[in-house]
Every structure is written in structure tokens, then in C-alpha cells.
């Protein structure tokens, strides 16, 4: 993989378009399937499954919830809910599956919306879970599952980290200008996800342009499905905000309708400890301004509606004791009038900046431009992060993602290299080998800094020791033990960790 910009031949790109469309594979691995409690799976196989109009509105895989042990969290359901139902968690996409049944504390209803408050048992392992609602209607069952939407934790930490990644552009062919091999099948995006799983931050923020939506009819129908499957590959919670490519208004396809079907709200907020995060829709304009003619959108710049602007301010007011971090697609420092055929300016940009200044927002994360930048204005850190796959628009650019570290509740680090650079992809890798009760994990770190790497090992059931590093978690089921280990790997080095039975 080469990390510099190259010009490309548009005719070649268009010629390859149909080829890429035909040969790109399904993203989600066959091994990653949602599993459930075996007793109830057996029960369901012996009974009738029925369907209703019930939906899980919150939490979602795109707006997950942090649930502390021995505390409660809320589930929002929409539709006709019978009086008899149960709620349980299953370990998300793991070989060894934990099933955790959640006692229901109360149910409150308003019209066709239900707020279900559940208790997280104190013995629940720290893990990312799928959420399932099991409905019993006189022996006829419905099972609703939302994957990767509940992260169980012991406590909120004062020292934590998260990844900012942006501009997936699933379906975009412009990455061919950087590497044909790694663009086909979205290999470079999958590689970024693999590397983020090696780093294993506390969560991931994705700030728009997840899909492309600009090449052929009914493109969104395919790209959103692939994007949804790809998000399931993350081993940590993921929070999403939309970009312009996610919301074009095309013939018989409105990108934001697909977004709401697959990912839920176009803007929202959440807390992690003393930090309050706002996911902002910076392509918030009416359908007519989101029109796309053939391959050409009317606007691809930023916009914040008055309604959303009011929500942003009111939401900040309600969380006045917090630190604030916003993530969106278009950086509000820059007007985007040139990103419009009718020269439509970034609506409410100045008003948003005034709010950011008034409420002392700590950090604003954005994408859109496909390069790294850091600007500090009135003590607010404005960051843009490069793309993991599309074309690079600057000479010093490359594909990558950004690691942001919070230490003792203060922003500690946000650059891989000064003064602005994110982590380049294709620099981290893990290889496993296992034979009987012996195994090793080989960590490769080509970065110019030390980094803590994580790995998972599947081995016959038993007790084990490691040559160095730390056991994070161990789970055993059906003669199989699943080990999670971490190890600090020095810059530009390969480290091997040996695992043996005790």
C-alpha cells in the first residue's frame, strides 16, 4: 500500500465500475452470526414464530448503550407489545456465548411506544452484547434481536480511548487511484476495522459518508446492506453520524430513509462518564436541496437546520456539568459553498460556531475532505480525519483512522504524529497459531510508537498461562476456552506471546 496521492484516469474508473459491482463480496464473515440462548432456541424450534410490527428503537448497533453492572438501562420499543415477554443479552459474535437474562423493573407506555427498564445483573461479564426481546403470545413466539447494542461495563473510566474514523465510501471507486487490489471488496476498510479491533478502544465514532450513493440506480439498496454488515465486524461499540453521501435524494431512493431504517436517528447524544457526545447531521437540508441528477448531486456541502441547531443548544444546556465532544461530517470552520452547484453556503455554520464557543465545546471531529487537519480555535480542538479507502487529496495523505486518548478526564492525545496526523492503516497485524494446548500470538507493530495490542485465542478447555502480557478475560463452554489477551508491543517490532496449559 502506498501512502501518497496519485492522479487517476476517469475512463478506467468508469470502465471498472460494472466489474467491481459484480465481484465485490459480502462483507460479514460467515463465522459472525448472532447466537442465542440454546434452551430458548430449542424451544423456538418446537413452536411457531409469528411476526408483528414491533421494533427496537433504542438501543441500536449504531447508537448503543453503556450499561453498568447492577444498574438499569432503558429499551424503547414501538408497536403492539404483549404483556408477556422477556429480555436477554447474548455475547456479540463470539465463539463462546454468554446468555444474560435481564430482570424487568418496569414498563411504561405512551401510545404505541414502550419504555422498558431492565436491570443488569452484577455477575454479567464486561462485554459487548446483542439484545433480544422474546415475546410469548400463548405459546407462539417472536424473537427480536438488535446486534452489538449493549456494552456492559464495571464503571465509567476517567482514562479511556476512542477511535474516530470517517468516509468509508462503500461503493466508491475513487480508491482505485490509490490501490486497486485493496479497494476491490473494500479490503482496506476491513483492514482498518481489524486494526481497530487490535487496538480495542472503548468505542468508535464514525462521522459520515459510510456509503457512496452516486453511481447507479438503486445503489443505496445494496450499499446500506453491506455497510450494516460491515459495522457488525467491530468488536467495540460504534456510534454513527451521517454525511452527504449517505443522504442524497435520488430517483425512488432517499438515502436518509435507508439511514433511519438501518441506523436510526440522524442526530442524537450520549454520555460516557463525564463526557457528553453529540452526533450531528451536517447534511441537514430539505429533499429538494439533496437532489441528485444522474451522477451529480445538487449539494454536497454542509447544512444544519434551525430545528437541529435548537436541539444542539438545548442538549448542551441539559448537560452543563459535562465535557463536550461533537462529531459530524462537515467541519464548521470551513464554508462549503463551493460544494454546491448553486453555491449554497454552509447553513447555520456561524451559529453553530457561536454555540461551540459559548458552551466551551472541547473537541469537534469531522471528515469530508479526505485529509488530516487540526485547528484550535477559542480552546476548541477542531479535527478532521482522513479516509480509510477513498481518494487522497493531499501529497502527505494516506488511508487511516485516529486514536483519541482521555487521561484523568482530560484530552491527552489525538495525533499519531504531530502536528495533525492520524494512524496510517496497514501497520498493525495479529497472527495466531494453535496446536492442542499450545498456542502463540504474533503481534506486528509497524507504527513509530509503542501500542497495546489485543488478540483472541480459541483453545481446548483448561487453565492457561502466557509468557508475557495480560489475560483480559477467559470464557469456557462446550470443551472450548476463549482467551482474550493484551500485550504492549514496541514501535516497529514483532512480539510473540506463548500460551501453554498449567
Residue 238 has pLDDT above 80, yes or no: yes
Q: Phi first, then psi: give them for residue 14, nearest 5 degrees.
A: -65, -35
Domain finish residue from 111, 131, 153: 153
Residues 471 and 408 grouped into a single domain: no
Q: Half-sphere exposure of residue 24, counting CA atoms within 13 Å on the CB side?
A: 25
Question: Is the model's pLDDT at 277 over the cut of 70?
Answer: yes
Provide the pLDDT confidence category of residue 46 given band limits of 50, 70 and 90: very low
- pLDDT for 54 equals 87
Please tell me whether residues 274 and 400 are part of one structural domain: yes
Give the Cα separation of 330 and 263 in Å (integer): 19
Owning domain of residue 69: 38-153
3-state secondary structure string across 53-79 = CCEEEECCCCCCEEEECCCEEEEEEEC
Contact 347, 360 (CB under 8 A): no
Number of domains in the chain: 3
User: Do you find a cis peptide bond into 59, omega within 30 degrees of 0?
Assistant: yes
Handedness of CA 12, 17, 22, 24 (dihedral sign): positive
Provide the grid cell at 326.
461533537
Three-state DSSP class for residue 488: strand
- Cell representation of residue 316: 448542551
Tens of pLDDT, residue by residue over 109-133, are 988 899 999 999 999 999 999 999 9
**CATH, residue 494:** 2.60.40.1180
Q: Do residues 183 and 265 both lie within one domain?
A: yes
The dihedral of CA 418, 419, 421, 422: what is its sign? positive
Q: Using 50, 70 and 90 to split pLDDT, how confident is the model at 138?
A: confident
Q: How many degrees, rounded to 5, is the angle at CA 231 between CA 147 and CA 484? A: 75
Per-residue pLDDT of 290-321, as tens digits, reads: 999 878 999 999 999 999 999 999 999 999 98
Instruction: For residue 39, give Cα distances in angstroms to 32, 36, 206, 215, 416.
Output: 20, 9, 37, 47, 48
Provide the terminal-to-terminal Cα distance of the chain, rounded to the nearest Å: 42
In the listed set 106, 121, 153, which residue is the last one of a domain according to the structure? 153
From 372, 405, 424, the end of a domain falls on 424
Beta-carbon contacts of residue 262 (< 8 Å; ≥ 6 apart): 62, 224, 225, 227, 228
365 and 297 in a single domain? The answer is yes
Amino acid at each position: 500500500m502506498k501512502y501518497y496521492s496519485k492522479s487517476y484516469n476517469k475512463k478506467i474508473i468508469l470502465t471498472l465500475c460494472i466489474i467491481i459491482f459484480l465481484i465485490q463480496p459480502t462483507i460479514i464473515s460467515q463465522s459472525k452470526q448472532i447466537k442465542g440462548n440454546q434452551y430458548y432456541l430449542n424451544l423456538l424450534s418446537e413452536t411457531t414464530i409469528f411476526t408483528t410490527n414491533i421494533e427496537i428503537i433504542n438501543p441500536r448497533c449504531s447508537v448503543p448503550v453503556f450499561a453498568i453492572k447492577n444498574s438499569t438501562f432503558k429499551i424503547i420499543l414501538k408497536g403492539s407489545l404483549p404483556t408477556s415477554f422477556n429480555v436477554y443479552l447474548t455475547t456479540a459474535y463470539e465463539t463462546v456465548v454468554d446468555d444474560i437474562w435481564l430482570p424487568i423493573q418496569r414498563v411504561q407506555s405512551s401510545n404505541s411506544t414502550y419504555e422498558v427498564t431492565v436491570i443488569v445483573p452484577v455477575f454479567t461479564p464486561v462485554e459487548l452484547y446483542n439484545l433480544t426481546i422474546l415475546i410469548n403470545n400463548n405459546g407462539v413466539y417472536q424473537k427480536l434481536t438488535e446486534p452489538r447494542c449493549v456494552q456492559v461495563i464495571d464503571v465509567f473510566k476517567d482514562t479511556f480511548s476512542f477511535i474516530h474514523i470517517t468516509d468509508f465510501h462503500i461503493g466508491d471507486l475513487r480508491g482505485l487511484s490509490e490501490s486497486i487490489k485493496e479497494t476491490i471488496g473494500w479490503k482496506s476498510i476491513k483492514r482498518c476495522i481489524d486494526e481497530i479491533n487490535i487496538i480495542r478502544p472503548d468505542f468508535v465514532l464514525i462521522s459520515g459518508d459510510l456509503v457512496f450513493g452516486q453511481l447507479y440506480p438503486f445503489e443505496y439498496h445494496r450499499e446500506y446492506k453491506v455497510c450494516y454488515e460491515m459495522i457488525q465486524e467491530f468488536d467495540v461499540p460504534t456510534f454513527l453520524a451521517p454525511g452527504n453521501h449517505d443522504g442524497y435524494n435520488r430517483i425512488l431512493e432517499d438515502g436518509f430513509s435507508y439511514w433511519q431504517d438501518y441506523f436510526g436517528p440522524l442526530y442524537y447524544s450520549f454520555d460516557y462518564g463525564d463526557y457528553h457526545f453529540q452526533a450531528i447531521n451536517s447534511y441537514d437540508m430539505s429533499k429538494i436541496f439533496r437532489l441528485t441528477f444522474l451522477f451529480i448531486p445538487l449539494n454536497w456541502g454542509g447544512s444544519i437546520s434551525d430545528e437541529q441547531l435548537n436541539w444542539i443548544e438545548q442538549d448542551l444546556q441539559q448537560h452543563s456539568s459535562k465535557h463536550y465532544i461533537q462529531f459530524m461530517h462537515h467541519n464548521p470552520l470551513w464554508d462549503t459553498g463551493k460544494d454546491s452547484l448553486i453555491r449554497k453556503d454552509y447553513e447555520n455554520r456561524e451559529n453553530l460556531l457561536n454555540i461551540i464557543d459559548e458552551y466551551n465545546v472541547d473537541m469537534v471531529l469531522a471528515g469530508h475532505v479526505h485529509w488530516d487537519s487540526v485547528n484550535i480555535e477559542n480552546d476548541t480542538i477542531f479535527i478532521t480525519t482522513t479516509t480509510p479507502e477513498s481518494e487522497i487529496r493531499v501529497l502527505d495523505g494516506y488511508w487511516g483512522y485516529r486514536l483519541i486518548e482521555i487521561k484523568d478526564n482530560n484530552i491527552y492525545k489525538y495525533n499519531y504524529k504531530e502536528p495533525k496526523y492520524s494512524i496510517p492503516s496497514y501497520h498493525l497485524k495479529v497472527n495466531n497459531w494453535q496446536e492442542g494446548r499450545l498456542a502463540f500470538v504474533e503481534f506486528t507493530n509497524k507504527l513509530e510508537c509503542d501500542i497495546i495490542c489485543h488478540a483472541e485465542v480459541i483453545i481446548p478447555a483448561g487453565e492457561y498461562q502466557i509468557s508475557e502480557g495480560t489475560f483480559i478475560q477467559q470464557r469456557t463452554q462446550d470443551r472450548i476456552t476463549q482467551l482474550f489477551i493484551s500485550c504492549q508491543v514496541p514501535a516497529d517490532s514483532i512480539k510473540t506471546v506463548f500460551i501453554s496449559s498449567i
